Structures are given as structure tokens and as C-alpha cells.
Chains A and B, each alone.
Chain A
Amino acid sequence: MAEGPIPDSNALRQQVDEAFACADYARAHALLTQLWQLRPDASTAAYLVGRFEKLRGHIALAPCRLAILRSFTVEPAIGLLRAMAFAAGIDLEVHLGDFNTYFQEMLDAASTLYAFRPDVVILAVQACDIVPDLWTGFADLDAAGVQAAKDRTAATYRQIIETFRSRCPAHIILHSLQIPSAPALGVLDATAEHGQSAAFRQINDELAHLARAHKNVYLFDYDRLIARRGEAAWSDPRKWLTARLPIAAGELVHLARAWMRFLHPITGKVCKALVVDLDNTLWGGVIGEDGLEGIKLDEAYPGAAFQAVQRTMLDLYRRGIILAICSKNNPAEALEAIAQHRGMLLRPEHFAAVRINWNDKATNLREIAGELNIGIDSLAFMDDNPVERTWVREQLPEVTVLELPADPMGFAPALRDSPVFERLAISEEDRERGRMYAEQRQRAELQATAGSLEDFYRSLQMSVEIALVTPATLARTAQLTQKTNQFNLTTKRYTEQQIAELSAAPGGRVYNVRVADRFGDNGLVGVVITRQVNEDCEVDTFLLSCRVIGRTVETAILAIVAQEAAKAGAKTLGGWFVPSKKNAPAKDFYRQHALTSTREKDGATWWQLPLPAAALVCPAWIDLRMSPGETK
């Protein structure tokens, strides 16, 4: 398909003015973003910042207060950074420290840094400024001198971070130190035991260690950025000597981009799912015309470009990004290629939602978001066809549409360069997410084919394991109370500390629920907290992740909770239903299980039933186990 005419930047600016004139701010935002993609340079940045200042209040922007403490000139990068942030929906307010005052600013509680109340601090300090003796004076140092310089530097960073952290919870981004490209020992440096490069690498290892040891501290590999760009292109020695600016004019935008890779996940401007096209995106050629043998997908050129895309997608999948397909094709042919083609690195089990049909892509994307139960603004879309990209951009401006070059060899790099897939921490749950969504899709397909609901439950072969909370499950238990909204009877949010206290309280019990079925293990997906006072057992919290609701698991759990309470001598089991904006799915839970409502208070309803409750039993299709755990 032919590309539409590419609007030039003057035409776009004119359209921006028109959008402002008729107060169409969403369109102005979209046009400004487009303008930035077209010409990401300093004058466009200045223009964007000026226009976005006027959009403030008219469009949703996430505010973020960024302090940059530095040892060199970064001012010319700030305009670029603010423009990029605006385009990404982030309203950045920047505080710049004076040259080389980072130490004082961090240590002095009365400094302008603390008065600024930053959300994020970037510590942009250069190797030649913080350890000049290792940088230019290396040849004069003996082994002990090198060690002393390394120790002193690591100690400086440790003191800065620990002091700052004790006063302020802001995120901290540390620049790694540049490793000298022309070391004092010449070629021998790489081999030498106490070489100059090794000394800087060891300091960088210390910084990584420091980042791991503190919450919300991250190491930005500045040295690798310079290596990627090429040191000769990156550096401008004359500007360094005259303006303390070590970076060449054309490279500043890459520094700002690298910072944005942290600011995206910090401000939540990330995507949860990547939706991809198939023909000429996931493989070369058109499956409907070229057939299984004709499409290009292997280790050789040009099929390798598409394997590179798939390999990058696998990296994202393991990072917790959900993958989905949106393609105009005959489903049978396309699915056969995904399942059978020898060159495919991705298989059907990697995809959580699949729309292969002839509907328009905006409609399909809306459906995919619905099926995955995530917002449309959580979707990223990748398609080689510029017409489809334009269509989606116009129909669904909330979707992040990846801009791709014409040459497929550039697809994987474009995907890797997108900041919306960056994460600052990856949990066990993130790593398992893709698999769980794909299993959910298979369950839904089974439900569509199974006859009665009971047949469906039976075919799932569910097993439910209930156990008391342990130190190892405290974090996940607290997280579930904080994140579960739908099937949550009281929506009480607890910290790990509070969960531990509830568990240790007299008569208190905190139950963990794990659910597995023939498609896989859902992991720890439910929490029940009860408190027994004399002969009355109160359900303080009863929640279940939306992954497993509607499968009678909740009946099994309530049955065992009632049984355990009766065993402990309780004569009644009762609990509040506290309505929230989102917990309608749990509204009739107690009524459906033969509890009766006896009183109301502030919109909440108290339900109870006498124990032992013979009618409350675990459904026959669930294999239920109560782990003994520690007895209290």
C-alpha cells in the first residue's frame, strides 16, 4: 500500500495553530506528538514546550518534579527532555543543581534540593569530575592508591544515597561512570590486573550494588550509552573546555531519550500489552498469497529481520508484557503458520488474545483491551503498514502506535527503542503473566465448547489449596489486599506489617488460597482474614483475584473457612459486605451462600450464619486441600 503524503513540519505547525483556534486540545496534543516524531530537534522542542504550556489544564498530564544534580552542563538537554516528556503525557518541572554541588545538596537538609520536593533525582556526575585522580592521574598511582580512590568514590556515593534516602523517598537515577577509551596503560590496560578501565568498572559494580540495596534507586549505564553512540561522535572536547559541555550538539537528544526510559516507568507511562500485525511484521510476505513455504522467516536474510522482531517480543514477554495479535487474514492459514512454521520463535501459547479477521483494526484493538481487561491506553500497536498505523492513531489516540522504518531490518531496533516497555522491577508474577493470560484464553475457548456449566467446571480439573500465611507469602498477601478490587468483600488495604499483626493477633487467621487447573498454576490468588472472639468468627477480608472468579472457587473457600471456625469453637460466622465502585461482582456472594443479613451501617451490610453449616460444602469438582501449616 502506498504511503500517504508526509506532512512537513510547517504544515503540522499550522494545523496545531488551527487546533488551538478551535479549542480541540486532544488534536493539538496528537499533532504536537507527531511533529516531535517528524523533527526531534532543539527548535521543535522549544516550540513544543511553548505550546504544551498552553495545553496544561486542557489535557491529562502526569506531573513529575525532576531534580538534576550534575557535574557538567546539561541545560541544552532540558528543553529536549521536557518536550519528549510532554509528548509522552508527562508535565516535567526541572530543578537544576549548580555545578558539582551534588554532595552538599544531598547532605544539607536545608538545601534547595529538599525544598524542591523532587519525585525523581538524576545524579549526572562524570568520572573525570568525581575521581580526577583515577581519570587523568592514573599513571601516578600505585595499587594502594587506586584502591583508595575506588573506596573513596564508592563511599561518597553511599553516603549521598543513604542520607538522601533517610529524608526523601524520591526515585534516584545514578549515572554510571564513563570508562576511559584511551587508558594510561595503552593496550596493556585490558589485561592488567589493576588497570584503569578495571578500576572504573569496579566502581560501576559498586554503584549497581548500591542501587540494588536501596528501594527506587537505579543505575543508568551512561558508559554504555556513549559506547553505543560512539565516543568520537559523542564527545565535543572544545565545548567541554569552553562551556563545560562534554556532549556534541547532535547527541544531546540521546541523553534525553535515555533519561526518558526511566521516567516512563516511574510515571506509569508504560504499556501492558503489545499487539502485532502478522504479514510483513511477524514474518516476511503475505501468508494468504505466499503460503506456509513462501513466507520469509529464518536465520538468513531477509527472514532474519522477522526472527529478530520475534526474539525481541520474547524478551518483552518474559518481562511481563502481554502479547496479542491483530491481523487481517484468514484465521486458519495464519494460525497454521504460527503453530507450524519452522522459523516461528513465538507460538500460539505466547499470545493472550488473537483477532485474525477482516474487521477494522481499531475495533479489534478495543475488543482485545476488553478481553484482557486492561485500558486501551495500555496497548502498544506494531504494524508495518503506515495506513493501518494512521488509522489506529486517528481512531484510538490513546494507543501507543510504534513508528517503523520501511526496512524490516529496522523493526526489532524500533521495538527495542520504545520506552513504553521499560520496567524498573520484574516480579515472579510479571514473568508468569504471559503464560497465565494465554491459559485464560484456552479456558475461555474450552468454556465455549463445553456443554453445561458443571461440565465446564469438571473439565477444568481445579485444585484449591488453602494454607495459613507464612513469612514467605506476606508480601504477596499484602499486595493482593492492595490490588484486588472486584471480588473483594470489604476492600481493606493492608501492609505486610499489618498482615503479620493480624495473623499473630489472638483468634486471628490469615489464609492464602492457591488455585491450579489443567491449564496451569494460577499461584496465590486469594486471601481470607478472620478473627474469632469467643464464639463469633468475623470475616475481616475475603478476596479473590479476577483470574479465578466465577469458577466456584469462592464456595470452596467459604466452606473451609466455616469448617475451620467451627473446629475452633465458633457458633456463628459473619462478615460485612462494603460496597465500593468496583466490587459489584462480590455483592451477592453471602446471599448466594445462605447467609442472612441482620443489620446495615453506612451502606455496608452485615451477613451471618450459624455454625456448623452443614449446607456449606465444597463443590464436587474441586479438589480441595487444607494445608496443616503452623497451628496456633
Chain B
Amino acid sequence: MDETIATQVRQIAADLFQVPLDKVTPASSPETLEAWDSVGHLNLVLALESQLGISLAPEDIEKMKTIADVIALVQERSK
């Protein structure tokens, strides 16, 4: 796992969902982070795209169930 990307993703999620960085773990999901609702999900996708310079397809977006999924996806798309 690329630690830089993992940290960047966790930091973006922490900012957007307004929680401290250490509260965002690979296991974090809409069930554990209160602000991760449907609008939060869209905001997360857009922040990843604009801040990490990647493009996510609708199929990708559906697969983002946990932070671990998001990190794996961003790594895939950053290649």
C-alpha cells in the first residue's frame, strides 16, 4: 500500500467529515462516520478528483464502501 496516498485519502476524509485524522481508519465507512451520507459521498469523490488529479467513473463510485476501498481505488486510478 502506498502510504502517501493512504494518508492523503484519510486527511481528505477527515477534513470533509470533520473528524480528527486518527478517527479515519481503513475500516471507516458510512456506518462509522456520521457525516459520510450521500452528499458527503459526492463531496468525497469530488475532493479526491480535484485534489489528487484523478477521474472516477460511476462504477468506481459505487464500489467505495470503506476507506480501504477508496485508498485501493485511488491507487489504481493514480497509476
Tell me the residues in window 204-260 of chain A with beta carbons closer than 8 Å to chain B beta carbons: 238, 241-243, 245, 248-250, 252-253
B16 near A243: Cβ-Cβ < 8 Å? no
Nearest-neighbor residue (CB-CB) of B15 within chain A: A43
Can you report 26 A-B residue pairs in the complex whose CB atoms are below 8 A from each other? Answer: A41-B47, A42-B15, A42-B46, A42-B47, A42-B50, A42-B51, A43-B11, A43-B16, A43-B51, A44-B15, A46-B18, A47-B15, A73-B42, A75-B42, A75-B43, A76-B39, A76-B42, A76-B46, A238-B57, A241-B58, A242-B58, A242-B61, A243-B42, A245-B42, A249-B45, A249-B46
Known A-B contacts: A42-B12, A249-B50. Give 11 more (CB < 8 A).
A41-B50, A42-B16, A42-B43, A43-B16, A43-B47, A75-B39, A238-B57, A243-B42, A249-B47, A249-B49, A250-B49
Residues of chain B contacted by A243 (CB below 8 angstroms): 42
Residue of B nearest to A39 (CB): B51
A291 at the binding interface (Cβ < 8 Å): no
* CB of B72 to closest CB in A, whole Å: 20
- Collect the chain A residues with CB atoms within 8 Å of residue B49's CB: 248-250
Q: Which residue of A lies closest to B53 (CB)?
A: A250
Q: Which residues of A contact B12 (CB under 8 A)?
A: 42-43
Q: Which 6 A-B pairs have the closest CB atoms?
A: A43-B15, A42-B47, A249-B46, A249-B50, A249-B49, A250-B50
Closest chain-A Cβ to B5's Cβ sits at a distance in Å of 15
Chain B interface, number of residues (Cβ within 8 angstroms): 17
Residues of B within 8 A of A41 (CB): 47, 50-51
Question: What is the bound-complex CA distance between A159 and B61, given in angstroms?
Answer: 40
Q: Distance (Å) between the CB of A465 and the closest chain B CB?
A: 61
A241 and B57 alpha carbons, distance in the complex (Å): 11
Tell me if A294 counts as interface (CB < 8 A to partner B): no
**Using Cβ atoms and an 8 Å threshold, which residues of chain A touch B58?**
238, 241-242
| Assembled-state Cα–Cα distance A242/B59 (Å) | 10
* Interfacial chain A residues near B42, Cβ < 8 Å: 73, 75-76, 243, 245
When distances are taken between beta carbons in the complex, the residues of chain B under 8 Å from A79 are 43
**Min CB–CB distance A246 → chain B (angstroms):** 13
Hey, which bits of chain B sit against chain A, CB under 8 A?
11-12, 15-16, 18, 39, 42-43, 45-47, 49-51, 57-58, 61
List residues of chain A with CB within 8 A of the CB of B46: 42, 76, 245, 249, 252
> A44-82 vs B: 1/0 string, CB under 8 Å?
101100100000000000000000000001011001000
Kindly state the interface size class of chain A when it binds its partner.
Answer: 20 to 34
Q: A76 contacts which chain B residues (CB < 8 A)? A: 39, 42-43, 46
Contact of B15 among A46, A238, A242, A248 (CB under 8 A): A46
Instruction: Please give the distance in Å from B40's CB to the nearest CB on chain A.
Output: 10
Which residues of chain A are near B61, meaning CB under 8 Å? 242
Q: How far is the CB of A69 from chain B (nearest CB, A)?
A: 18
Q: Return B59 CB to nearest CB of chain A, in Å.
A: 10
**CB-nearest residue of chain B to A49:** B18
Q: How far is the CA of A252 from the CA of B11 in the complex (A)?
A: 20
Contacts of B39 in A (CB 8 A): 75-76
**Docked complex Cα distance between A211 and B22 (Å):** 51
Q: Which residues of B contact A242 (CB under 8 A)?
A: 58, 61
Residues of B near A245 (CB, < 8 A) are 42, 46
CA distance A248 to B54 in the complex (A): 12
A388 → B minimal CB distance (Å): 32
A432 to chain B, nearest CB (A): 45
Cα separation A47 to B47 with both chains bound (whole Å)? 13
Complex alpha-carbon distance, A76 and B41, angstroms: 10
Q: How far is the CA of A41 from the CA of B43 in the complex (A)?
A: 11
Cβ–Cβ < 8 Å partners of A47 in chain B? 15
Task: Pick from B11, B18, B47, B50: contact of A50, CB below 8 A.
Answer: B18
Distance of B7 from chain A, by nearest CB (Å): 11
Residues of B contacting A241 in the complex (Cβ-Cβ under 8 angstroms) = 58
A residues near B11, Cβ cutoff 8 Å: 43
A46 and B16: CB pair below 8 A? yes
Binary flags per residue of A549-579, CB closer than 8 Å to B gives 1, else 0: 0000000000000000000000000000000
Q: What is the minimal beta-carbon distance from B4 to any residue of chain A, in angstroms?
A: 14
Q: How far is the CA of A242 from the CA of B58 in the complex (A)?
A: 7
Assembled-state Cα–Cα distance A50/B14 (Å): 12
A249 to B44, CA, bound (A): 10
Contacts of B51 in A (CB 8 A): 41-43
User: Complex: how many Å from CA A301 to CA B38?
Assistant: 51
Closest to A50 in B: B18
Query: Chain B residue with minimal CB distance to A250?
Result: B50
Which B residues are CB-close (under 8 A) to A73? Answer: 42
Alpha-carbon distance A252/B47, docked complex (angstroms)? 10
How near does chain B come to A81, taking the closest CB pair, in angstroms? Answer: 13
Q: Which residues of chain B are near A248, meaning CB under 8 Å? A: 49
Nearest CB on B from A255, distance (A): 12
